[in-house]
A and B are shown apart, each in its own frame.
Chain A
Amino acid sequence: MFGDEVEVTETKLPGIGTRYDFITDAGRRIGVVSHRDGDRDLLVFSKEDPDSCSSVLHLSATQADALAQVLGSGRIIQQLASLGEQISSLSTGKIRIAHGSRYDNLTLGATKARTRTGASIVALMRDQEIVPSPGPHTYLRGGDTLVVVGTAEAIDALKQIVNE
């Protein structure tokens, strides 16, 4: 997923788990120790002595998930924004599904969004969480927000369809 941009080094820690680390553009090494029981240590390596850590944060499995969510969703939106800038004819939009929409509790496939409008649904935001690349069998709920890529017209058309 990020292999061609960032070189993540993976080191086995026998009896403990695995360490992942890489160097940022600013020359700082950061990493994660993935414990076998699901806990994670977030590592920031020292500037003076790059072999040691200047701070280590211990996260429980759920805290680590929360952090990953925050880091990951930010990236998806950023990527979408930059995609829109790169191709001028392409727009991105967010479409909220109203409570009581006819697609509330139907699958994404039931909207036939791509065939009818040409717009692609690239992510689904639900309760502050992001579901990237939802499939045709993903169920929609009232209150969900679709993240859509397509021409401006296609996005408008989709907005009409889901809120019929």
Chain B
Amino acid sequence: MDMGLLLIELGAVVLGLGVLGRLAGWIGMSPIPLYLLAGLAFGQGGLVPLDASDNFIEIGAEIGVILLLLLLGLEYSASELTTNLRQHAFGGMVDLIANALPGDVIGLVLGWPAPAVVAMAGVTYVTSSGITAKLLTDLGRLGNRETPVVLSILVLEDLSMALYLPILTAMLAGVSLMAGATSVAIALLAISIAFVVALRFGRALGRFVYSDNKEVLLLIVFGLALLVAGFAHELQVSEAVGAFLVGIALSGRVAQSAREVLTPLRDLFAAVFFVFFGLETNPSEIPDMLFPAIVLAAVTALTKLGTGVWASRRSGVAIAGQIRTGTAIVSRGEFNIVIAGLATASGIVATGFGALAATYVLILAITGPLIFRAGEPLGRAALRREERQRPPKPTARHTQSDDDGAVSEIA
């Protein structure tokens, strides 16, 4: 291996990603679609093929997936997940059915084998919690009435990954029904153990893992995640699930500090992962998949919109908030690519799968945030229309004038 060439290629790729990230920041969009496009440009049949750094990028991509899932697990505590599951299980089911079904249908229409159909369902199902959570914060919507509804949808989708990924992995490995059932059973056992550890022994585990020294904490948490991911892989459960469970088992102060030290690492390797997925996708297949991808994006944008409106109406949110909920969850991003990446890595997937998944995520990662922003004015317009149609009724606003009165009283 030519070390000089490797460093030059790698340096050019990472620097290029940095420039793309800055560009994305300027125009206020998620950098994920740009990373994907960069991967497509450098991949097989792309503009400039990369050779020397192939191995590194492949391993880097694997670490990227593990870190993405580890950080996702660190976001939530086990108690948050269990409460959410109890309270919103029905809404989560509706979300799953409404948004996984279009992926299934397109897979069947294109005549793909069963594992590819199930993988595509996962690609269309999950909302990008990264894009959505960032926009909620950036646009000052954290306090809004509908925000708990949005977050609970995201939490349940992320939690369902712990079950979905082992099933998908077993199907992709082409194992028999019996072996598949075994690995799903192992996954369930692992999930239960992680939850018991987190809920019962969270404090003790935290004491073991925690260190004031950032360097030590980084090495311990990262090492633990890689180790568990490796064992999960050996047991035919997805390595991503292993890392996710490590994240869930850690909570409180440890999770807080671990998030701080691991986020930069995650950003680096996740970017490598998105590039890797682009590299593995053949751009010459995209033109054929463009039309199906646009249809699929349009349909699943509408199903997400419907899911959001329905879920927030159930929680008693008014029309403007319902529209904000629906528009908030349209974005697809990192985990859709993780799912598609698992499928393409297994090598048995149908032609056009990678191209369709990449194009689909590109469309919704770019338009999703725009739709998110449009939710605000659309909601306001709907509210005004509703008010015009209804006769004006007396509300709690009769005390409006007290606003000024109260101020002078205190002064």
Q: Do A52 and B321 have beta carbons less than 8 Å apart?
A: yes
CB contacts (< 8 Å) of B53 on chain A: these are none
Q: Determine whether the beta carbon of B321 is less than 8 Å from that of A49.
A: yes
Contact indicator B84/A52 (Cβ below 8 Å): no
Nearest CB of A to B74, in Å: 10
Q: How would residues 145 to 183 of chain B score, 1 for a CB under 8 Å from any chain A CB and 0 otherwise?
A: 111100110110000000000000000000000000000
On chain B, the residues within 8 Å of A37 by CB distance are 256
| B396 located at the interface, meaning its Cβ lies under 8 Å from any Cβ of chain A in the complex | yes
B318 touches A14 (CB 8 A): no
A53:B403 contact, CB within 8 angstroms: no
Stretch at the interface among A40-48, A129-137, A141-149: A40-48
Tell me whether A26 and B399 are in contact (CB under 8 A): yes
Contact residues of B: prevailing secondary structure:
helix
Give min CB distance, B334 to chain A, whole Å.
Answer: 15
Q: Choose from A11, A15, A21 the contact partner of B76 (Cβ within 8 Å).
A: A15
- Taking a contact as CB atoms under 8 Å apart, the answer to whether B146 and A12 are in contact is no
- Asked whether A27 is an interface residue with its Cβ less than 8 Å from the other chain, the reply is yes
Question: B133 touching A52 by the CB < 8 A rule?
Answer: no
Interface size of B by CB at 8 A reads 38
Residues on B with beta carbons closer than 8 Å to the beta carbon of A12: 80, 83, 148
Per-residue CB contact flags for chain A residues 90-111 toward chain B (1 = under 8 Å, else 0) read: 0000000000000000000000
Partner of A51, one of B75, B129, B140, B146: B146
Nearest A-chain residue to B402, judged by Cβ: A26
B76 touches A14 (CB 8 A): yes
Which residues of B sit under 8 angstroms from A5, Cβ to Cβ? none
Contact A51 B142 (CB under 8 A): no
Check if B185 is an interface residue, CB within 8 A of chain A.
Answer: no
Say yes or no: A53 contacts B399, CB within 8 Å: no
Q: How many residues of A contact B (CB 8 A)?
A: 29
A13 — which chain B residues lie within 8 A by C-beta? Answer: 142, 147-148, 151
Q: Does A28 contact B (CB under 8 A)?
A: yes
Give a binary string over B318-335; 1 marks a CB under 8 Å from any A CB, 0 the rest. Answer: 101100100000000000
Q: Is the CB of A51 within 8 A of B152?
A: no
User: What is the CB-to-nearest-CB distance from B329 to chain A, in angstroms, rounded to a whole number?
Assistant: 14
Interchain CA distance A23-B84 in the complex, whole Å: 26
Known: A13-B151, A16-B151, A26-B402. A36 touches B256 (CB 8 A): yes
Q: Mark A1-28, 1 if CB is under 8 A from B, else 0.
A: 0000000000111111001010101111
Chain B residues contacting A19 (CB-CB under 8 Å) are: 142-143, 147-148
11 extra A-B contacts, CB within 8 A, seeds A16-B151, A19-B142: A13-B142, A15-B129, A15-B154, A19-B148, A26-B400, A27-B396, A27-B397, A28-B403, A49-B321, A51-B317, A56-B143
